[in-house]
């Protein structure tokens, strides 16, 4: 296992998840429910499954499309979505 890849992935995902909708939803569930361990296990399980799907899909896409095209496409999509959010804010 490549420790550098694991730690950089952990750091990026940890920072990206701070304050996002998933964390806020988990916060609300934990505030409402008595069984906080059930909320934690449900939330952690969902993150594990979605991460698993992302790894599988990413590995399949990279077999068909060169990695630099995937990075350029992802970067372009982030730029387009960011501009969309700036130009057309939610009401």
Give the integer Cα–Cα distance in Å for 33 and 26. 10
pLDDT at 54 (0 to 100): 92
Q: DSSP code of 77?
A: H
pLDDT digits (tens, 9 = 90+) for 48-84: 999 999 999 989 998 999 989 988 998 999 999 999 9
pLDDT at 91 (0 to 100): 72
Give the integer Cα–Cα distance in Å for 70 and 2. 22
* Maximal CA-CA distance, the chain: 48
Residue 19 belongs to a domain: yes
What's the total number of domains in the chain?
1
Residue 74 belongs to a domain: no
Q: Which domain holds residue 22?
A: 3-65
pLDDT digits (tens, 9 = 90+) for 5-34: 999 999 988 888 888 888 899 999 999 999
Residue 71 belongs to a domain: no
Residue 61 belongs to a domain: yes
Residue 87 belongs to a domain: no
Alpha helical stretches, state H, 18-88? 21-32, 36-64, 67-87
Nearest Cα neighbor of 44 from 32, 30, 34, 31 is: 30
Average pLDDT over residues 32-51: 94
């Amino acid at each position: 296992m490549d420790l550098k890849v694991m730690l950089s992935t952990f750091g990026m995902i940890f920072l990206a998840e701070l304050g996002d909708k998933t964390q806020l939803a988990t916060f609300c569930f934990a505030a409402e429910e008595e069984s906080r361990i059930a909320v934690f296990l449900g939330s952690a399980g969902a993150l594990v499954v979605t991460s698993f799907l992302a790894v599988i899909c990413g590995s399949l896409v990279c077999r068909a499309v060169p990695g630099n095209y995937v990075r350029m496409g992802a970067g372009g999509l982030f730029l387009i979505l960011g501009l969309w959010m700036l130009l057309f804010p939610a009401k």
